[in-house]
Structure 1
Amino acid sequence: MGKLRTLYEFMMAASVAQARWEKEMADNIFRNKKRLLLLLVLLSPILVTSLLGAADILGGKKAYAPSHYTPIVFWASTVVGFAAGLITGCIGAGGGFIIAPALMSAGVKGIMAVGTDQFHIFAKAIMGTVLHKKLGNVSVALALFFIIGSIIGATTGGYINRLLYSKDPVLSDAFISIIYAVILGFLGFYAMYDYFSTRRKIKTGATSASQGAHSGPIGTTKLAIRLQQVPIPPIIKFDEDFGGRQISAWFIIAGGFVVGFLAAIMGVGGGFVTFPMFVYIFGVSTSTTVGTDIFQIIFTAGYSSLTQYAIYGYVFYTLAMGLLIGSLIGIQIGALTTKVVPGITIRAFYALTIMAGFFNRVSVLPDKFRSLNLITISKDVCDIIIFVGNILFWGAIGLFGFWVVFSFLKNIKTLREEG
């Protein structure tokens, strides 16, 4: 149980770091008139073509487009981005986990959902990053070797996704759904346990109801100390301002491989596990981690989304822009709402949305396995299971979105006074 708890805390720390990064990117875009103007320029032709019902023009290869694409799918992607942004801003974690499953539920093929999601993250990174503020904290050596590993990992993950899709699109969808089901299931069940555990502590007065949505591991780990003592060349030196530390480049390359592989497989962005990996496994200081992570995510997300998906036609640019604009707005509203709602309620909704994503992906697996002739089950039964999974998923997301927006509008006067 202890090891599972540690793994959960590590994954939560990764999710929190990704949410923090997304919030920073959104703030950088909204606070800069030039960036906002660039966003409008990029969106205007897509909005026009979507209204005219001709959004296929700006999509990838038509053969890879959603099976029943209509302009409504673009607006659906905006809603999905908005919901993910609300979760990211309000909960501070987990928003990116629902994008690919939501797009797949809306009729987008799994490989295109992954490629499109990752491209939208790359676009957000390009528009929102302010490198000159962080360059002083970047460890060039760490970033260089990490990028080498992430490129190899992204190439491997992208190749596996494309190989499975070429063999059988159903096999590809099943593979992506299984990956998401495992991760969301683990996070969701532990989030439920965390919620009820915290609720009991609140009743006994052991903790405060205003506590945030999550907590993470604290302090330098024994693993980091051990890895830094392994003398396998080449050796990278970093954190000179903190007395100086060193680690074998091979560990950094291996870490980059894991991040790049997960990014290419899930489309969740190159920075998903970088922060906790650097801090808790490699023992890198927080300030160096932040600068190096922002520096490398552009290369990792850019390389993966462009070379592994976009050039093969697995990115639907209209949907990517819908995700971008929806998430930028949702993050702002979600972040403001946290000022007027109790933390324990946020914990409950985090657990609810993650579990809904888990059930949604699990619900499609019987039909995928049936199509692959792995199990014998009737199509009608599969359709019922999928229908229930979609009701649970969209119902939970809709309930959460309504609650956040309602709380925001209800307290808008208070928020203005605080602002």
Structure 2
Amino acid sequence: MKFGRRLYNTLLEGSIAYAKWDLETSRNILRSKKRMWILALMVVPIILGSVAIAAPELPDILGGHKAYSPAYYTPVIFGVSILIGLCAGLITGCIGAGGGFIITPALMSAGVKGILAVGTDLFHIFAKAIMGTAIHKKLGNVSVGLAVAFLVGSGIGVTGGGVINRALYQANPLLSDTFISVIYVVLLGFLGTYALIDFLRLRKAGGDVGAHGAETASEASASGRKSLPERLQASKIPPLISFDEDLTPGGKKIPAVFVAICGSIVGFAAAIMGVGGGFLTFPMFVYILGVSSFTTVGTDILQIIFTAGYASIAQYAIYGFIFYTLAMGMLLGSLLGIQVGALTTKVVKGIYIRGFYATAIMAGFVNRLFALPGKLNEMKIINISSELSHILANIGNVLFFIAIGIFAVWVVGKFLGSMKLLREEA
């Protein structure tokens, strides 16, 4: 129980760090007229493409319903993608923790194949990162050696995750969907349970506190034990990487292999789940490798750009597993949602934000959990009636979209109702 809470707190802290990057990236896009024009030009083909909807059915190879690389879409699909991006942005901005966890389950609930949902989400993250990250301002104190070792590892992890996802899909598309659903059930079930316990504890205490990370080096030293970062940095496995020279006299050193291993884990998770991996990078760097938060932020920005870029293009795009229309819709929605959510936090008590975080995570968990019986039944692993599996999947979808919809309406309502107060503060 104690280990689970520590793990939850470190992942939560990583999600918060990722959300801060996401918010700053979105603001960089919205502040720049040049970037907004680029975004508008990227959306033009999608708008013009709607004309083709009135045309006769397209051949499969050109993007019909059964195309390997699906280009078929309708204004309804595009609208749903904007709403999904909007809700994810509201969660990220309002809760202050990454809302990307709900995007893949939401897309799968809307009928998108799991592997397409993962690839599309990665491309949406990469598009936002490459457009909005001001590298010259935000990289900070980055150790080149640290960044290179991490990216080598993340490249290996991304390749492995992409190969596994594609192999499962080619063996059986149902197997791919089931695998992705199981990963989300386990992760969201763990995070959601602890988030709900955290919310109930804070509500009973009548207050709000910040996230508590894992054991720090000072706490370990006080107990007479070496912390994990101290033990790893004491290892002399070559080659050694120097970092934090500006913060520690003489700097710190750590074997490159440990940094690469962390990178491979982040890359693997990103390729399998369709997330940027920032929620893992921060706790790994700070609590496992002992890197300062200052250096971690800069390296995290680098890894998101390269990890998401390599994963989305080399592992999914060239194999036809990205739905660009959905990616652009999510990008448009998230740019708006994250701003509204961030402003709303100024007029909402922290305890309510914790509650909605727990609700959003549990909604994604229930959604994928209720979808599993139908997929397992189709794969002949369990034997239940098709009617029952269909009912369960529909219940999961309805509960998911009701929970996320209520949250979105509540946040937007709070934002609109507090516009006068927000203007005065501005």
Taking structure 1 as the reference length, the TM-score comes to 0.94
Question: What is the letter of the counterpart of residue 198 of structure 1?
Answer: L
Question: What is the letter of the counterpart of residue 248 of structure 1?
Answer: P
CA distance in structure 1 between the aligned counterparts of 2:50 and 2:203, rounded to whole angstroms: 46
Pick aligned residue for 2:70 from 53, 65, 74: 65
Corresponding position: 1:96 with 2:103: no
Which residue in the other structure is 1:235 paired with?
240
Which residue in the other structure is 2:323 paired with?
316
Pick aligned residue for 1:325 from 322, 329, 332: 332
Which residue in the other structure is 2:143 paired with?
139
Which residue in the other structure is 2:293 paired with?
286
- Measured after TM superposition, the shift of residue 15 of structure 1 is 1.4
Which residue in the other structure is 1:338 paired with?
345
- 1:189-204 to 2 correspondence within 5 Å? 189-202=193-206
- 1:261-300 to 2 correspondence within 5 Å? 261-300=268-307
Which residue in the other structure is 2:22 paired with?
22
- Measured after TM superposition, the shift of residue 272 of structure 1 is 3.0
- 1:14-413 to 2 correspondence within 5 Å? 14-50=14-50, 53=53, 62-65=67-70, 69-202=73-206, 207-208=207-208, 214=211, 216-217=213-214, 219-220=216-217, 222-243=227-248, 244-413=251-420
- Measured after TM superposition, the shift of residue 296 of structure 1 is 2.4
CA distance in structure 1 between the aligned counterparts of 2:290 and 2:191, rounded to whole angstroms: 24
**Partner SS, residue 53 of structure 1:** helix
- Measured after TM superposition, the shift of residue 72 of structure 1 is 1.1
CA distance in structure 2 between the aligned counterparts of 1:195 and 1:21, rounded to whole angstroms: 25
C-alpha contact (below 8 Å) 2:185/2:365 kept by paired residues = yes
Q: 1:342 to 1:51 in 2, by over 3 A?
A: farther
C-alpha contact (below 8 Å) 2:89/2:338 kept by paired residues = yes
CA distance in structure 2 between the aligned counterparts of 1:397 and 1:216, rounded to whole angstroms: 28
**Partner SS, residue 108 of structure 1:** coil
CA distance in structure 2 between the aligned counterparts of 1:6 and 1:165, rounded to whole angstroms: 35
Q: 1:233 to 1:60 in 2, by over 3 A?
A: farther
CA distance in structure 1 between the aligned counterparts of 2:400 and 2:87, rounded to whole angstroms: 12
Q: Any gaps of 5 or more consecutive residues in structure 2? A: 221-226
CA distance in structure 2 between the aligned counterparts of 1:60 and 1:143, rounded to whole angstroms: 42
Question: What is the letter of the counterpart of residue 411 of structure 1?
Answer: S
Q: 1:216 to 1:87 in 2, by over 3 A?
A: farther
- Measured after TM superposition, the shift of residue 379 of structure 1 is 0.4
C-alpha contact (below 8 Å) 1:164/1:172 kept by paired residues = yes
- Measured after TM superposition, the shift of residue 43 of structure 1 is 1.3
Once the two structures are superposed, residues 131-180 of structure 1 have per-residue CA deviations (whole angstroms, 9 ceiling, x without a partner) of: 11134411110010100000000000000000000000000000000001
Question: What is the letter of the counterpart of residue 29 of structure 2?
Answer: I
- Measured after TM superposition, the shift of residue 275 of structure 1 is 1.3
Q: 1:34 to 1:152 in 2, by over 3 A?
A: same
CA distance in structure 1 between the aligned counterparts of 2:375 and 2:199, rounded to whole angstroms: 33
CA distance in structure 1 between the aligned counterparts of 2:235 and 2:54, rounded to whole angstroms: 58
Q: How many aligned residue pairs are there?
A: 411
Q: Which moved more, 1:168-177 or 1:91-100?
A: 91-100
CA distance in structure 2 between the aligned counterparts of 1:230 and 1:330, rounded to whole angstroms: 45
**Partner SS, residue 254 of structure 2:** strand
C-alpha contact (below 8 Å) 2:63/2:69 kept by paired residues = no
- Measured after TM superposition, the shift of residue 63 of structure 1 is 2.6
Which residue in the other structure is 2:224 paired with?
none
**Partner SS, residue 236 of structure 2:** coil
Q: Any gaps of 5 or more consecutive residues in structure 1? A: none
- Aligned alpha-carbon RMSD (Å): 2.0
C-alpha contact (below 8 Å) 1:78/1:326 kept by paired residues = yes
CA distance in structure 2 between the aligned counterparts of 1:416 and 1:216, rounded to whole angstroms: 35
CA distance in structure 2 between the aligned counterparts of 1:129 and 1:217, rounded to whole angstroms: 29
Q: 1:390 to 1:294 in 2, by over 3 A?
A: same
**Partner SS, residue 323 of structure 1:** helix
